[in-house]
Homo-oligomer: A and B are copies of this chain.
Amino acid sequence: MSSSTRGVRIVRFADAAFRSNEDTVAIEEPLEIRISGETLAITMRTPGHDRELVAGFLLAEGVIADKNDLATITYCGRVGDEARENTIDVTLAPGVKPPIDDDTGMLARRGTITTSACGVCGRRSVDDLLEAANPLVTTDRVDPRIVLAALAGLKDRQPIFAKTGGCHAASLVAFDGTVRGTHEDVGRHNAVDKVIGAQVLAGTAASPAHVLAVSGRSSFEIVQKAFRARIPVVAAVSAPSSLAIELARRTGVTLCGFVRGRAMTIYAGDAIEGS
């Protein structure tokens, strides 16, 4: 079984000084769920207990009612292939109908990631993105105090959170500290889409010399959205996943986590002044 955490080298900013250190992050890897060889869904998950994940997913989607509706749940792919542990094939018991899309006559697919014939893995997900766009090259640097202030001020720009105590937010902040926009949403990825989309509609799609400040954690998807919008810095209140860090490192995005009070951890990139 794959491990669920991984050690990473980081730079910690605290007491106005930078120090290199080791940190531990939760692993995020894609899991492809197939029914009789055909892709049903791809979900970003932490490896471990994948068979349980698949059984629970199929129950929630109404594909199975109980264990008796499952014939087999097995990892597929060749042993030694990096993608082997990220693809699970399910055979349903005789008489159990797979979810078919009326329009296409094929499996009604779930998930946001395009599949490839040879299975999925984090490295390939990053490769696919880099085929579509060049890595960011940022020469501008941002004062770490601007990044701290961007996150510290986020709560003040969250009227929905203030009323409900439960809503994500994302904010686009220029390297000089100017707040370009803030949006809230029950979905963290939606809040990011709204902030970036507002720039697109204003005709200012590419956002160099900006920080994307997000409440909560940062996943592959959040870094992907920053990269596609050419935003060089992602700063989050909480932890990043392993795949968010890997994607940030390979695409040139500077990734900060645990940005709280007067301290933060830098997981990738060199856009923070003095780091």
Residues of chain A at interface, number, CB under 8 A = 77
Q: Which of A153-182 contact B (CB under 8 A)?
A: 160, 163-167
A184 within 8 A of B: yes
Question: What B residues does A239 contact at CB under 8 A?
Answer: 164-167
Main secondary structure of the interface of A (DSSP, over half): mixed
CA distance A194 to B43 in the complex (A): 13
CA distance A112 to B228 in the complex (A): 23
Is there contact, CB below 8 Å, between A184 and B24? no
The winner among A56, A197, A203, A228 for most chain B CB atoms within 10 A is A56
Closest to A51 in B: B201
Is there contact, CB below 8 Å, between B111 and A164? no
Contact with B along A221-245 (1 / 0, CB 8 A): 0001100110000000011110000
CA distance A160 to B57 in the complex (A): 22
CA distance A104 to B108 in the complex (A): 11
A26 within 8 A of B: yes
Is there contact, CB below 8 Å, between A26 and B166? yes
